[in-house]
């Protein structure tokens, strides 16, 4: 069952946002637990849907909550030019649709580290949005987004 459109009175100022769950990749969690090690619990953060971003990014606050290890550095173009940004690997689940419907799971998924953001901790870029249908209704001050579930992928 799809979710109703997200109504946002100040859509232009705030932008389209959804909640996403971020955690360590499942295969890492399984390996750590098999060896008696603990891992941070998943977190739910506010994510800006950004069709202008080619990759998904997370803010320092989210990285710190998850104690994510930096795996690499890559150049990322932005409004202020090209910067070298750290790369992390996560499990990312957009929390849209009915609670009982299958979720789209991006795991393992590379994300880049960003500078501190305003009041969101994640930017969903086109890498993730490639698996979504996104409709923006400016006059109606609403947007709708749906993701193909992981089980439907490739059908």
Structural contact between residues 40 and 64, judged by C-beta atoms closer than 8 angstroms: no
Residue 78 has what pLDDT?
A: 78
**86-110: per-residue pLDDT in tens?**
999 999 999 987 666 678 999 999 9
What is the rounded average pLDDT of the residues 45-51?
A: 94
Q: Which domains does the chain have, with CATH numbers?
A: 15-147 (2.40.70.10)
Q: How far apart are the first and last CA of the chain?
A: 18
The DSSP call for residue 135 is: E
**55-73: per-residue pLDDT in tens?**
999 999 999 999 999 999 9
Structural contact between residues 135 and 144, judged by C-beta atoms closer than 8 angstroms: yes
Higher pLDDT, 77 or 1: 77
Q: How many CB atoms lie within 10 A of CB 122?
A: 29
Q: What gap in Å lies between CA 151 and CA 28, rounded to an integer?
A: 21
Residue 79 has what pLDDT?
A: 75
């Amino acid at each position: 069952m799809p979710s109703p459109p997200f109504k946002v009175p100040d859509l232009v100022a705030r932008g389209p946002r959804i909640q996403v769950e971020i955690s360590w990749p499942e295969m890492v969690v399984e390996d750590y637990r098999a060896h008696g090690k603990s891992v941070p619990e998943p977190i739910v953060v506010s994510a800006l849907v950004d069709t202008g971003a080619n990759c998904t990014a997370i803010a320092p606050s989210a990285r710190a909550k998850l104690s994510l290890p930096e795996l690499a550095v890559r150049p990322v173009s932005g409004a202020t030019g090209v910067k070298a940004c750290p790369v992390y690997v996560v499990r990312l689940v957009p929390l849209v649709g009915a609670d009982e419907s299958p979720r789209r799971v991006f795991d393992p998924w590379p994300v880049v580290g960003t500078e501190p953001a305003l009041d969101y901790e994640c930017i969903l870029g086109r890498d993730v949005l490639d698996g979504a249908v996104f409709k923006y209704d400016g006059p109606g001050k609403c947007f709708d987004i749906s993701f193909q579930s992981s089980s439907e992928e490739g059908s």
